[in-house]
Amino acid sequence: MAKIDSAFFDIGTLDTLACRDSAIHRLDPRAKLVTTLVFILVVVSFDRYAISALLPFGLFPLSLIILADLPPGYLLKKLLLAAPFALCVGIFNPFFDRQTLLQFGPLAVSGGWVSFASILLRFTLTVLAALVLIATTSFTGVCRALERLGAPKVFALQLLFLYRYLFVLIDEAQRLIRAHALRSFGGRRPGMKVFGHLIGQLLLRTLDRAERIHLAMLCRGFDGELRLLRPARIGGQEIVFTLGWSALFIALRLYNFPQLLGRLFTEFAR
């Protein structure tokens, strides 16, 4: 029961963070969405052995976390929650790519380990940037930005309803588990047969609850338009934000600044 409750409040934390007031929160959602998409596209465009060239890209999510006053511990927890997917993607690279790529004295590092580290680094940067986007914009703001940028309205609405359906699902799961715990007097966990019945009841109850919510929305005048509390407009701050960060991303893609600094430091050391 406690795990379900904590999961519910954990999902709602991103929406709570998006209600804060900061310079990043006040930016138009379209500017933040476009900048984040450029960031992700540039990061994933590197070759599989790139590591040092990716390190400066951490400046973008870290800067937004500081300026928006987001809790790093919470974002790190969400990042670690999705980390197994990246591990499953790259864990077999060291077994297939055994060619030595780096040599540190007697220690030889194969290309598989380098590509594995590159996958983890790119995963960290892109997922962290996406979490920061939602934590400063809200999922509703992201869907609204997609619609304003030309995405089909049906797609944006379905994406938003899919996200909101998670809250309905978890809420109904809370009710089922609480009812089972009261009727079993805190006994052992339900077996597979009981668990199957609970899953079926959960599906039926969430569908019924979702239908009631939809009817309530229609009664309150819902017409398919996504509306935000903050007025959406593109101003000078949004243009500077988007063009400034995008120019930095392209510069970091064209030039390996850590490698250039290393060469410069080596020349001075001589």
Q: How confident is the model at residue 2 (pLDDT cuts 50, 70, 90)?
A: very low
End-to-end CA distance of the chain: 64
Give yes or no for a contact between 65 and 132, defined as CB atoms under 8 angstroms apart: yes
- For residue 259, the surrounding DSSP H or E stretch is helix 257-269
* Bridge partners of residue 107, in order along the sequence: 104
Q: Three-state SS for 203?
A: helix
Poorest-pLDDT segment among 106-115, 146-155, 211-220: 106-115
pLDDT digits (tens, 9 = 90+) for 39-93: 999 999 998 888 888 999 999 999 999 999 999 988 888 888 888 888 887 788 7
Question: Is the pLDDT at 105 greater than 50, yes or no?
Answer: yes
Question: Is the pLDDT at 108 greater than 90, yes or no?
Answer: no
Q: Three-state SS for 100?
A: strand
Burial class (CB in 10 A: 0-12, 13-18, 19+), 183: exposed
What per-residue confidence (pLDDT) applies to 11? 62
Mean residue pLDDT of the chain comes to: 82
Gyration radius of the chain over CA positions: 23
Token code pair at residue 224: 């398919």
* Bridge partners of residue 110, in order along the sequence: 100
Token code pair at residue 18: 């998006």
Name the one residue in this structure whose structure tokens are 């009261």: 182
What per-residue confidence (pLDDT) applies to 188? 63
Cα torsion through 214, 217, 219, 223, rounded to 10: -110
- Contact residues for 174 (Cβ-Cβ < 8 A; gap 6+): 1, 4, 5, 8
Phi, psi of 103 (to 5 degrees): -135, 115
Ramachandran region, residue 185 (left: φ > 0; alpha: ψ -120 to 50; beta: rest) = left
pLDDT digits (tens, 9 = 90+) for 206-224: 788 778 888 888 887 777 6
Question: Is the pLDDT at 98 greater than 60, yes or no?
Answer: yes
Instruction: Report the share of the chain in percent with pLDDT over 70.
Output: 87
Question: Is the pLDDT at 140 greater than 70, yes or no?
Answer: yes
Give yes or no for a contact between 233 and 239, defined as CB atoms under 8 angstroms apart: no
What per-residue confidence (pLDDT) applies to 1? 46
Instruction: Report the share of the chain in percent with pLDDT over 90.
Output: 25
- Prediction pTM value: 0.80
pLDDT digits (tens, 9 = 90+) for 241-266: 999 999 999 999 998 888 778 777 77
Token code pair at residue 171: 């809420």
Token code pair at residue 237: 């701050």
